[in-house]
Copies of this chain bind each other. A is one copy, B any other.
Amino acid sequence: MTTGGMLTGSHGCLVGISKPTMFTGASAMFLLIYLALWKYHDSTNPLLASASSLPGDESRLLPGAHSPRDFLEQVMSCDLDEPEKENVMLIKNESMPIIYFVTPTYARSVQMAELTRLGQTLSSVPALHWILVEDASKCNPMVGQLLRRLGIPFTHLASEMPAAYKKLKTPPRGVSNRRAALKWIRKNVKQGVLYFGDDDNSYDLRLFEEIRDTRNISMFPVGLIGDYAVSAPVVHDGKVVGFYDSWPAGRRFAVDMAGFAVNIQLLHQFPNATFIYQAGFEEDSFLQDIVTNADFIEAKAANCTEILVWHTRTVQVPAVILQPPTQTLTDTSISGLLRRLDDLQLATISSKGKPSSVHYLTDV
């Protein structure tokens, strides 16, 4: 396996090796068949797994001119003014393992609302380092401002989905971001616990104390997933013996991305373990790489009977194109407000947009 030459130097920006991928029509067709078979495809959050139901080992290999494990992404470190190492060093709590909470994110009108809400939840968790990875060619300064304001130790990266995947009808979102986070952790962190937490899930704060003592891999139920309203490990005599998930799809580990946590020493034991660009099978491929013995799995959340994380989804709203009101009094707050809407990706302000107007109080 080649891992590419990603560089996440402390002041680095736009560093990495991009391998052009060669997609044939046949491979695109193969992926479309996958998608048609996906049973509970989540159309409102493209970050989430979308998938095939092709069983067996062949489903783990993505057709194409490259190895599915090649590192294809460009990664940008966004902490230009604050060397990453400094952020890492902010936490020196030797009595408690640090949780590295990895969140892939992408630009949309609800993004800042969701990141604000999630970030505020995370700011209540002791000894947590947030690794936020944008699927973007450059870093969004609003996201950087939010991270600095929250006061959580963080790493802010950008890693765009390689162009070849963007052409697919349902692009495999979140893979590029999570791979970039794995690379960053392997380079910068020796120990702690890794958890993948999407920006629209809901987390009960008790989850963090459950996963903090993960020795190898811990697993637990995720609410609001699929046709069973849950995806959960099944525990017998204290051991995980199977999975209760309405979409087994030939997966050995039929779990959601939010349903497991990993001790970072295990990442170093398996330096090639990664996510492949195959919608719906990301969790399974990664876990097959690192779980050599099912006895290593630790059941959390009251032997997997409690729900401490929920796959909530937010209604997506398209950004609007707005024409500023013509009848506005001079020096009102409207111009500042419209600039803010633009910054927040809620609206684009244009003379060709939808006309907008102010309703004045009658006694003005």
Min CB distance A332 to B, Å, is 5
Q: A32 near B: Cβ within 8 Å?
A: no
- A117 near B229 (CB under 8 angstroms)? no
Q: Which of B229, B251, B319, B333 contacts A229 (CB 8 A)?
A: B319
List B contacts of A210 (CB < 8 A). none
Q: A120 near B: Cβ within 8 Å?
A: yes
Copies per complex? 2
Min CB distance A97 to B, Å, is 22
Q: A312 near B: Cβ within 8 Å?
A: yes
List B contacts of A242 (CB < 8 A). 358-361, 364
Q: Which of B110, B303, B340, B347 contacts A305 (CB 8 A)?
A: B340
Complex Cα gap A164–B333 (Å): 43
- A234 near B358 (CB under 8 angstroms)? yes
Q: A26 near B: Cβ within 8 Å?
A: no
Q: Which residue of the partner chain B has the closest CB to A123?
A: B124
Q: A93 near B: Cβ within 8 Å?
A: no
Complex Cα gap A116–B207 (Å): 12
- A223 near B113 (CB under 8 angstroms)? yes
Q: A356 near B: Cβ within 8 Å?
A: yes
Complex Cα gap A332–B110 (Å): 40
Complex Cα gap A113–B223 (Å): 9
Which residues from 74 to 113 on chain A have a C-beta closer than 8 Å to any C-beta of chain B? 109-110, 112-113
List B contacts of A240 (CB < 8 A). 361
Q: A221 near B: Cβ within 8 Å?
A: yes
Q: A254 near B: Cβ within 8 Å?
A: yes
- A314 near B317 (CB under 8 angstroms)? no
List B contacts of A252 (CB < 8 A). 361-362
Cβ contacts A235-271/B at 8 Å (1 or 0 each): 1110011111110100110100000000000000000
List B contacts of A235 (CB < 8 A). 332-333
Min CB distance A262 to B, Å, is 18
Q: A230 near B: Cβ within 8 Å?
A: yes
- A110 near B312 (CB under 8 angstroms)? yes
- A329 near B116 (CB under 8 angstroms)? no
- A232 near B337 (CB under 8 angstroms)? yes
Min CB distance A145 to B, Å, is 12
Q: Which residue of the partner chain B has the closest CB to A251?
A: B359
Q: A30 near B: Cβ within 8 Å?
A: no
Q: A275 near B: Cβ within 8 Å?
A: no
List B contacts of A59 (CB < 8 A). none
- A109 near B229 (CB under 8 angstroms)? yes
Q: A306 near B: Cβ within 8 Å?
A: yes
Listed residue (A299, A325, A358) with the most chain B CB atoms within 10 angstroms of its CB: A358
Complex Cα gap A123–B203 (Å): 14
Q: Which of B113, B227, B306 contacts A202 (CB 8 A)?
A: B113
Complex Cα gap A341–B224 (Å): 10
Which residues from 326 to 348 on chain A have a C-beta closer than 8 Å to any C-beta of chain B? 328-329, 331-334, 336-337, 339-341, 344, 346-347
Which residues from 111 to 131 on chain A have a C-beta closer than 8 Å to any C-beta of chain B? 112-114, 116-117, 120-121, 123-124
- Identify the 7 closest CB pairs spanning chains A and B, nearest first: A305-B336, A113-B310, A242-B360, A235-B333, A248-B359, A229-B346, A313-B315
- Please name 4 further chain A to chain B contacts, defined as beta carbons within 8 Å, in addition to the given A234-B328, A241-B332, sorted by A numbering: A113-B310, A230-B337, A252-B362, A294-B364
